[in-house]
A and B are shown apart, each in its own frame.
Chain A
Amino acid sequence: MKIFTFLLIYILFSFAGVNSAEHNNNLGNKISKNVRCLICQGQSIYDSQSEFAISMKLVIDKKIEEGLNEDEVYKYLKSKYGAWITYDPEFNKKTFILWTLPILLFLLGGAIILRKLILNKF
């Protein structure tokens, strides 16, 4: 019975370990896909096999192991390399046009279509 309990606990812990490693690996891959390779134009560090990208992936894995979450890893990388390191630009005074213009154009387009529809109806 004791052996059975021990085995059960061992198996459960093993699964927990595998799940945690898998989670870290998935998170590392997700972050790597959103981090720009600064020396290889147009590639993320996930896609690149350059020395820079390989080292960067190791740093990301290290930071995840240290307990940093996704946002904290991005923040850390931005503190070293600037906002340009990520593909996803943050919302600030320099990028607000980039973020708001498509929404404004979408609303404007919607308003024009709506107006036409209403005018056609009456």
Chain B
Amino acid sequence: MKNKLVLILLIIFLIFCFIVLFKALNNNSIYSPKNVINKTIINFSLPDLYTEKNISSDEIFKDSKFYILNIWASWCMPCRDEHPLLMQLNKNSKIKIIGLNYKDSLVNAKSFINKFGNPYSLIVTDKKGIISIELGAYGVPETYIIDENKKIIKKFVGPLNNKALTEINLLIK
């Protein structure tokens, strides 16, 4: 009787472990940034890369249907990989691309733009990286697609690729 009870308890425990581990198999172990989607972008004020004059988010997000906020830095190698795609996106008149230069030196940021071209309508600098964290970013490059109501509709972590480009084009259709 006692042995039977132990056996039943053991089987129940094993079934429980199996269910938990099986469920965990389907979970994505890579962190995915769902938390900022459908949220309104925070209000911020940052200096322009060229004029060094402070520009508020209200001034930035005001005259376009879609915005792409791209966090980049000259020291970030994947930013170089995605740069041609941003240049390509720049041709689309429906979107305004804003660059958020992350923890960079002004000289290096400017020479990066001179070397690879400027896809941005405006570049603001986040010297301490505080605004990037408040935006929910955790590295460079990162790209936010924002609609006319200042709502984040999509976020790409890491460099943009052709798949992301197709997705962006579908979103702004």
Given contacts A51-B129, A52-B139, A55-B103, contact A79 B134 (CB under 8 A): no
Q: With the chains together, A58 CA to B133 CA distance in Å?
A: 9
Given contacts A55-B128, A58-B128, contact A84 B31 (CB under 8 A): yes
Check A62 for interface membership: any CB of B closer than 8 A.
yes
Nearest B-chain residue to A76, judged by Cβ: B134
A-B CB contacts (within 8 Å), total count: 46
Q: Are B134 and A81 in contact (CB under 8 A)?
A: no
Nearest A-chain residue to B138, judged by Cβ: A38
Q: Are B128 and A39 in contact (CB under 8 A)?
A: no
Q: With the chains together, A104 CA to B168 CA distance in Å?
A: 49
**By DSSP majority rule, is chain A's interface helix, strand, loop, or mixed?**
helix
Question: What count of chain A residues pass the 8 Å CB interface test?
Answer: 17
In the complex, how many angstroms separate the beta carbon of B4 from the nearest chain A beta carbon?
Answer: 17
Q: With the chains together, A55 CA to B132 CA distance in Å?
A: 8
Given contacts A38-B31, A51-B103, A55-B103, contact A81 B130 (CB under 8 A): no
Q: Give residues of chain B (18-37) contacting chain A, Cβ–Cβ below 8 Å.
A: 20, 31, 33-36
Q: Residues of B contacting A84 with CB < 8 Å?
A: 31
Q: With the chains together, A78 CA to B102 CA distance in Å?
A: 22
Check B136 for interface membership: any CB of A closer than 8 A.
yes
Q: Mark A26-56, 1 if CB is under 8 A from B, else 0.
A: 0000000000001100000000000110111
Check A82 for interface membership: any CB of B closer than 8 A.
yes
Q: With the chains together, A56 CA to B135 CA distance in Å?
A: 12
4 cross-chain pairs, A with B, having the tightest CB-CB distances, nearest first: A55-B129, A80-B136, A59-B133, A38-B138
